Each structure stands twice: as structure tokens, then as C-alpha cells.
Structure 1
């Protein structure tokens, strides 16, 4: 079925949604009308492919091709040099469906939810103007480190996949405000996420989390944290594995904890870099540091004065246990530097 020229709900809009179309005859739309069109709706049809002549909509800024049967996006889409929003939900797209030059497009909003992606295409990580990326309800197993290239990103929706780990590179997105990772298989949250200074909402419900990193309390803009459906709402046995520090680490600990002076000219570059990786023990009564070898302890802290959640602490030795007591009474009476002001974190969703 070919499209005949239709009228939109307003100037610059062509709406051909829900017409049962098998193909789009762009030639049937007058040239003047094509040049005026800024929004084109082709959603809820039976399109198996896009016509190469889609590029004739030279001023197109918004394209909705959701709920079709598309398995590939034609190369000609990349000639839409003004396209800012592409909605392609609920098709048959995967990581091999995108044109090679897709990453050069000026897209700001991209929605590929409800498709068949097993990986995030690297073309998507080259969309430097992208502010919103949705890939929910796909088959993703991981998030590539190249996600850090999307430095304009404000919303990242990856719910409903098979993701098992959050890459620390996500922490390099300075404007990320909404991060949705619900309904995955995530077992831990990297402490690097504390660098997401713009994050307002973090959705982690229905994962496999048993603890949170204590650094999550440094997310000063965070207003909503969704955690329901995770094992962390139930008390569990603490993991007490500990590998003794190497001779290299023992030397590094001595230099850092005792403030032994050194100059860049005194040490090889690899040792200088190693010394820069020192982490301070969170126990306020301990002046120690650690590098690779540390003890993992759990401490339950109050969120908003109502919820007690387990936060992970990394300590320099098994003897340094005072900030991570497993005794609830001790926790309550200790000086808790990790409590969250109730007026900041507005919602903690556990059930």
C-alpha cells in the first residue's frame, strides 16, 4: 500500500501512523510539502524497510518509525542532517541494523527500546549531541566502555535487559540525570558512580544487589533511589575474604600512611602511578591506606530515617572493623558519617 499525501495536525507535521502501510511512497508527497515537514510519523504500520527516498525530507527533525517490522535502517537516513529525534521502538533491529555513518548524525534523542540488540552498537556511542538514549527491553548483556563518549547524555534507559555489571565509565557522563537499570542481573554498583554529580534518579529495582557502595551517599543531587526486588533488603552473611597485601602494597602503604616524602625524579613512572591509586581507609580512627588488598565489610545505615540499607565499606585490614560493626545496636550508637539527610533524598523505593 502506497502513501498518498495527507494532512498533519499542524504545520510541519505529516502523520501516517496506524494506516497499515507496507511501504512509503515519498514521491507521492509534493516537494513543497516535503521541504516543510519537520515531524514525520510512520509508527504502527507494517513497514519492513524504509524507502531510500526518506532523505528527501531535507528539513526533518523528528521521525517515529516505532511498531513496524524493520530489521535494518537504510543508509539514506544519515542524509537527514537536521534530524534530532529518532523513535524506533518495537521493531526487529539489532546491532547489525545501523548504517556505518549513523554515528555522524545530529541526534539528540534516540529510542531503540523493544528491539533485539544484544550489544549497544558503537555507532550509537559516537552521537556526541545525544541527550537521551533508550534501549530498554532488548537483549543487552553488557554496556561498552565507549558509553563515556556520550558526554551530552542526560537520560540513559537500559531497563529490561540481561546486564550483569555497570561499567565504571558511566561515571564520566557529567550531565547524566536519570539512569534506569532496573530489571537486569546487576550484582554490584561501582563506587565510581559517585562522580555523577548531576544524577537525580537511579532505578535499580529487580536486580541482584546485596549491598551498595558507601560512595553512593556522595551523589548530592540524588532525589530518588529505587531498590525494590533486590536481595539487599534482607540481612545476609558478611563476606570476609581477605588476601594479604603484597610487598609492593606494604611499601606503598608505608610511604602513604607515614607521609614519606618523594619526588617524581625519585621513582619510575609506574610506581608513581601506583602511589596515586591509594585509597584512604574510611575508619575515622585509622590513618591507613590500601591499594589492591582490602577487607570488604557491610554496614547498615539509615536512609531518610526509615530504611536500613547495607553499604559496602573497604577497610585496610581485618582488625580495622569499628565503622562496620554487624551489631545493629552498635551501628545505632556509633557516629554514623553515612546517614542521608531526609530533606535531600526524597524517595527510597524498596517495595
Structure 2
């Protein structure tokens, strides 16, 4: 078989599982080096990338996974045709890769199972990158510069210590698979709903208590994983309610009763305040609220596949019962509809 897809023969040099600390690549003749498209060096005991790698000028794929590697030298920069670099399960960190790595044309980069505490800036310069895997590291955050990776389709950051999702992810036009499971994420930014290309979203084993309503805009989403979050483990009905201030009570009266007012009668700061009124979503209420509201979890059908627990805002506790916001199905649902809703919910909880 010709081309980089070949799995054996002259285009693939497999030196895996030799248990060597220093691989002698000089023994490979020059003609063979020119023909090798895939160089497999995984499961040895290498501490650094062999300098002879630079002589494999036709290399498309380099696998140096499962070694003891703490450093990748500038030799890799000579591999101008390299598209895939697999370096998972080593001892690499943000100081282990060359500063000019961002000048390469990599499309797949797998650095999972290493010791990165942050994503190096040179990785964020790889504008041809389609797949980035940094799972099982020590990352605490996702840099806002992640939107520099304009070609990114697959982002795997599971098994880190990430606490938040930057809204800049919404600027990635081709992002289809986003894996953020097993982190410490407490909320999902509404802007994530702008990633219309998203097909799979893995958020299991985080600290999520609700999802933004905007998530319903992800109409192409096919897989959603939420298990192991507080919103799944323990559904919250009435979360908090702060009694409204006198200002809010007055504003509610003006807006709900349609009392007319004009700029000549009301100070400018109160005009701005009145413009901030939010309509209560309970159709039987018709009220408004400003700062004080009842937060609830409401289950909403999503693409006929899931029933999502989304945050729901009501103007007062009295609105809770008529809305039926916390039940899996309303009283008018048939038994079959309720069963279907339960199955969709199970798919979300266990997915």
C-alpha cells in the first residue's frame, strides 16, 4: 500500500516495545528514511526525542507515546510534512516543547497523560490543528486564546482541574466534539450555544447544577453526557428566593399594571431600571421581576431526544405550582409520552 495510510512495509517503521532508552536510528539507511511516513517509537524508555528523527523528512506521523519523555527538542521542527504527533503518557509539561512548535502544520496533537498545568502558547498558534487532546493533565483553565485554533474540530480536555469554560470556545467554527468530563466546572456559558457545529458534548463528573436555556440552540447535538453532576444526582426545586426590595415592588406595580410614565416624570436612573424588567414565564402569572426571582429547574424537550434540566426564573414562589416546572411530564401527558420523556432523561443522566 502506498501513502501515509500504509500500516506495514516501507512506509512504516515500527520500533515500539523495544524497551530502549536510546534508539539508534542511524542504522536505518538514508533511502529508507526518505520513504518512511509513519515512525512508531512508543513504549520504550526514552527521555528525549532522538536527534536522528530530523532525518525522516517525509514523516507524516510520529508516535512517541508511553515513554519516559520529559523533553521534545527542536529536531521535530525539521519534520515539515508532519501532520500527526502522538506523545501521550509521558512526563511532558509546558516547558518541554520547542518555542517554534506553532510554526508547524500539525493537524492532530495528542498530549494526554502528561504534566501540563497550562496549555502552552505555541500550541495555540497551530492554526491547522483539527484534533487536540490534553486529557489527564493538570490544567486549571482553558485560555481565552483557544479561539486561535480556527481549524479545531475535536477538543479533549477531560480529567483535569478546569473550573470554567471560556466563552471564546464559541468562536471555533468547526468544533464538533468537546470533551470536558471529570473536571470541576460549575457552569456552562450561554455563548457555547453558538457552536452550531457541535455534535457531541461530554460534561459528566463536574459540578454543574444547571444548564443555560441557550443550550437548546444546539440543534445538531447528537450526544450529551451529564451524569455525575449535582443537577443529575440531586434535582433542586426552589433554590433561592430573596424578598424583593421596595424599589422592585414599586417597579413591578408600574410594569404589571401598565401605569404610564414619561422621562419628564421619572428620573433617568429609574427609567433605566424600569427598562430592565423581565417577564415572568408563567403564562398564568403575567407579572414581572427585576433582581429578585425564584430559581427553579425546569425540564425542557430538546430535539425530541433529551429532556434537559434548565434553569428557570419565576417572579415569586406562588408561580411554582401552576407552572409544573419540575415534573418530568405534565398531567396532560399520556403514559406513552411520559415513558418517552423518562427514556430521554435517562439518556441524559447516563449518557
Tell me the TM-score range normalised by the shorter chain.
0.7 to 0.9
Which residue number corresponds to residue 337 of structure 1? Answer: none
| Residue aligning to 1:142 | 141
Task: Give matches, 1:331-350, under 5 Å.
Answer: 348-350=347-349
Question: What is the CA-CA distance between 1:153 and the residue it aligns to?
Answer: 0.7
Q: 1:192 to 1:243 in 2, by over 3 A?
A: farther
Residue matched to 2:240:
240
Q: Which residue of 2 aligns with 1:56?
A: 55
In the superposition, relative to structure 1, how do residues 203 and 328 fare at CA in structure 2: closer, same or farther (>3 Å)? same
In 1, are the aligned partners of 2:244 and 2:292 still within 8 Å (CA)?
yes
Residue 108 of structure 1 corresponds to: 107
- What SS does the corresponding residue of 2:347 show, helix, strand or coil? strand
CA RMSD of aligned residues (A): 4.1
Distance 1:123-1:294 versus aligned 2 partners, 3 A rule: farther
Q: In structure 2, the residue corresponding to 1:328 is in which secondary structure?
A: coil
Contact 2:92/2:116, CA 8 A, preserved across alignment? yes
Give the direction of change, closer, same or farther, for the CA distance of 1:72–1:227 in structure 2 (3 Å limit).
same
1:229 corresponds to which residue? 228
Is 1:23 the equivalent of 2:17?
A: no
**Unpaired runs of at least 5, structure 2:** 1-6, 256-271, 334-339
Corresponding residue SS for 2:161: coil
Give the CA deviation at 1:73.
Answer: 0.8
Contact 1:224 1:346 survives alignment (8 Å): no
CA separation in 1, counterparts of 2:154 and 2:113?
Answer: 17
Distance 1:140 1:327, change over 3 A: closer
**Which region of structure 1 is more displaced relative to structure 2, 98-107 or 304-313?**
304-313
Q: Is residue 45 from structure 1 mapped to residue 9 from structure 2 by the alignment?
A: no
Q: In 1, Cα distance between the equivalents of 2:31 and 2:144?
A: 44
SS of corresponding position for 1:115: coil
Mapped pair 1:199 → 2:219: no
1:69 match: 68
Q: Provide structure 1 residue ranges, at least 5 long, that are not aligned to the other structure.
A: 1-7, 255-273, 335-340
Q: C-alpha distance in 1, partners of 2:306/2:12?
A: 49
Q: Give the Cα separation in 2 of the matches to 1:279 and 1:102.
A: 51
Question: Cα distance, 1:205 vs. partner?
Answer: 1.2
Q: Cα gap change, 1:329/1:32 in structure 2, threshold over 3 Å: closer, same or farther?
A: closer
TM-score (norm 2): 0.76
Q: 3-state SS of the aligned residue for 1:100?
A: coil
Contact 1:211 1:309 in 2 (8 A): no
> Is the CA contact 1:296–1:314 (under 8 Å) kept in the aligned structure 2?
yes
Whole-angstrom distance in 2 between the partners of 1:22 and 1:51: 10
Flag the structure with larger Rg: 2
Higher mean alpha-carbon deviation, 157-166 vs 39-48, is at 157-166
Contact in 2 for aligned 1:113/1:136 (Cα 8 Å): yes
